[in-house]
Chain A
Amino acid sequence: MKKVKKEKRRILLDFCEEKKHNIENYIKKGGFKALKRILKELKPDEVIEEVKNSGLKGRGGAGFPTGLKWHFIPKKIKPKFLICNADEGEPGTFKDRELLEKAPYLLIEGMTIASYAIGAEKAFIYLRKEYPLAKERLLNAIKDSIKHNFLGNRILGTKFSLDIKLFVGAGAYICGEETALLESMEGKKGLPRLKPPYPAVSGFLGYPTAVNNVETLCNVPLIMEKGAEWFRSFGTEKSPGTKIFSVSGAVKRPGIYEFEMGKITLSELVYEVCGAEKIEGVFPGGISTPPLKHGELDVSCDFESLFQKGTFLGSGGVIVFDREIPLIKILRKTAEFFKNESCGKCTPCREGTLWLWQILKEVEERKISKEGLDLAIEVCEKIKGKCLCPLGETCAISCEVFIRKFREEIEGEI
């Protein structure tokens, strides 16, 4: 077996501490150095320029260039907001949890730099209710950062002030979608807004708002300390940097792994690093991303390569499945998740996911024959391209690909 360069380049996970996740230790490791230098030497625009040059793309799933997002924030309008998306609801994803619990100061420094860059004096962390330990650690980290004047009023003696508040969700996957998240913070049901306008122009309370994922923001202090060139020395031309993968399911060593973008294949990750043996397939980035069959895993883990294979890097939540449970059950559960989490605002998603789930459930319970699978594909086709936000769309694509790829195996089960 070929030996994999095991996690040789951990740039984010190096900041994760089991026990010493306190501010003193973070400072000892070089933490807040970037912030100090920026506040002394750089203008906000220069920060945006550096992040743009680094080629950092959003790690929340959509992969939008971070520097460009910040660049779109209008300069003249006040106030502006930065919101860290820590809702991490995509099944099979737990990499933000690791960062939130074990490297909270890295996130706070990233948020402070980002806020300075876009001109926000108020920032929020939208944290999912399911992460009580992260809540405790973040509250503590905010408090200690204020104490050390890395946060709060007139940071490090400059004119820049920032207040970070923790906003805890109440259980709703859709609230991870950035505009639903904004609605939720405004005291409404988490229903996605029609885009445009994008949050960068009209976001929280109608003001310019940057919404960024936890992992995205954690990359920012490193880029600003070591430079865009350094960051670009990791990963590929189009996907620079590293990516944290959460691996779960039918593997011997589930957990969190960081690799350079595009420098490891899914097959190496699943078999060699995580010790999978006999498997059927893999969801590469949570169940919102169409599955790959066991024979299709020779693909590099980066945005472009997975896209070429008809799927997505998504959140990096790699779910490996075998025949421990029937495939029809995995498929039905996929549809069930989206059915449960559809916000109900648009009809194709609300009704479509419900029908899809009902059909698959009847196939699973052998109430209808395998022709039910054709009907399910038909429903998927009717959902596609007609939804307000990506939730219904991803459900349809993921389930349709699942049926097409595993049809024979599923028919054997029912």
Chain B
Amino acid sequence: MKREIKKILKEFENSEIALLQVLNYIQSKKGFVDDESIEEVSNILKISRDEIRSLVSFYHFIHQEKTGKYRIYVCTNIPCLLKGADKLISDIKNFLDIEIGETTPDGLFSVFETECIGQCDSAPAIIINDKIYRNLSREKIKKIIDRIKKNEES
């Protein structure tokens, strides 16, 4: 991790500018930004832990708490609502047997609501980690979840 942080710092030349990119990197590697990472970032970038913490709580895609390996963000803005986002959320919650903001006991999935993700022409849409899924239906989302589960088993 240290090496990657230093690489980002080198690219952006300035630790303040590099900070959010570093946090994005840690989020994608670990699934959340824990105290240990904050400590490390603070040491390398010479930015106070409190300042780093304030960013972690400000941005929606950076989590303070441990999340599942697959973070499902369901868009709940109006164009998606008009195309059944509410039903999609309840289907996802049912399939995984968790509520919004929770993680499955096996640590595989977390579900979050999110605002418009810019895919309104193919609503309803979701993001899983860094991947976009569009035009979803009950069947499609079930397939996607099942496929992830199967890949994880093998």
Q: Does A143 contact B (CB under 8 A)?
A: no
Cα separation A186 to B82 with both chains bound (whole Å): 37
B126 to chain A, nearest CB (A): 11
Please give, as numbers and ranges, the residues of chain B lying within 8 Å of A165 by CB-CB distance: 11-12
Kindly identify, within residues 329 to 350 of chain A, every residue whose CB is under 8 Å from any CB belonging to chain B: 329-330, 333-334, 337, 340-341, 343
What bracket does the count of chain A residues touching chain B fall in? 35 or more
Per the 8 Å Cβ criterion, residues 60-85 of B in contact with A are 60-62, 76-79, 81-82
For B15, B20, B54, B86, the residue with the greatest tally of chain A CB atoms inside 10 Å of its CB is B20
| Residue among B60, B120, B127 having the largest count of chain A Cβ atoms under 10 Å | B120
Tell yes or no: B24 within 8 A of A by CB: yes
Kindly list chain A residues whose C-beta atoms are within 8 Å of the C-beta of B120: 91-94, 246, 248-249, 254, 317, 319
Q: How far is the CA of A8 from the CA of B109 in the complex (A)?
A: 47
Give every chain A residue within 8 A of B21 (Cβ-Cβ): 167-168
A236 to B117 CA separation, bound complex (whole angstroms): 32
Interface residues contributed by chain B, number (CB under 8 Å): 42
Q: Which of B51, B62, B115 is A341 in contact with, Cβ under 8 Å?
A: B115
How does the 8 Å CB contact mask read for B107-136 relative to A, with 1 for contact and 0 for none?
Answer: 000000011111111110001001110000
Interface on chain B toward A: helix, strand, loop, or mixed SS?
helix
Beta-carbon contacts under 8 Å, A304-344 to B: 317, 319, 321-322, 324-325, 329-330, 333-334, 337, 340-341, 343
Report A347 CB to chain B, min CB distance, Å: 18
Asked if residues A89 and B116 are in contact (CB atoms below 8 Å), the reply is: yes
A88 at interface, CB cutoff 8 A = yes
Tell me, rounded to whole Å, the shortest Cβ–Cβ distance linking B26 to chain A: 11
Determine if A187 and B132 form an interchain contact, defined as CB atoms under 8 angstroms apart. no
Q: Is the CB of B81 within 8 A of A333?
A: yes
Whether, in the assembled complex, A255 has its beta carbon less than 8 Å from a beta carbon of chain B, the answer is yes
- Are the CB atoms of A330 and B78 closer together than 8 Å? yes
Give the Cβ gap from B18 to chain A, nearest Cβ, in Å: 8
B127 to chain A: closest CB distance in Å? Answer: 7
Task: Tell me the minimal C-beta distance from A323 to chain B in angstroms.
Answer: 10
A287–B19 CA distance with the chains assembled, in angstroms: 31
Question: Chain A residues near B118 (CB, 8 Å)?
Answer: 88, 93-94, 96-97, 128, 130-131
What is the CA–CA distance of A113 and B43 in the complex, to the nearest angstrom? 39
B17 within 8 A of A: yes
B-side contacts of A129, CB under 8 Å:
24, 61
Cross-interface CB contact of A333 among B61, B78, B114, cutoff 8 Å: B78
- Closest B residue to A134 using CB positions: B118
Question: Which residues from B are CB-within-8-Å of A5?
Answer: none
Contacts of B132 in A (CB 8 A): 130, 132-133
Contact at B61–A170, with CB atoms within 8 Å?
yes
CB distance from A93 to the nearest CB of B (A): 7
CB-based contact A91/B76 at 8 Å: no
Interface centre among A133, A170, A317 (most CB of B within 10 A): A170
A260 to chain B, nearest CB (A): 22
- Asked if B47 lies at the interface with its beta carbon under 8 angstroms from chain A, I say yes
A187-B15, A246-B121, A333-B78 given; A91·B115 CB < 8 A: yes
Instruction: Flag if A94 contacts B24 (CB, 8 Å).
Output: no
| Chain B residues with a Cβ under 8 A of chain A | 11-12, 15-21, 23-24, 27, 47, 51, 54-55, 58-62, 76-79, 81-82, 86, 114-123, 127, 130-132
Additional 18 contacts, C-beta under 8 A, given A94-B118, A170-B59: A92-B77, A94-B121, A97-B118, A128-B118, A129-B24, A130-B127, A169-B20, A170-B27, A171-B114, A187-B47, A187-B55, A188-B16, A248-B79, A249-B78, A249-B120, A254-B120, A283-B78, A333-B76
Chain A to chain B contacts (Cβ below 8 Å), 13 pairs = A92-B116, A94-B120, A130-B127, A165-B11, A167-B20, A169-B20, A170-B23, A186-B16, A187-B47, A248-B123, A317-B120, A319-B120, A333-B78
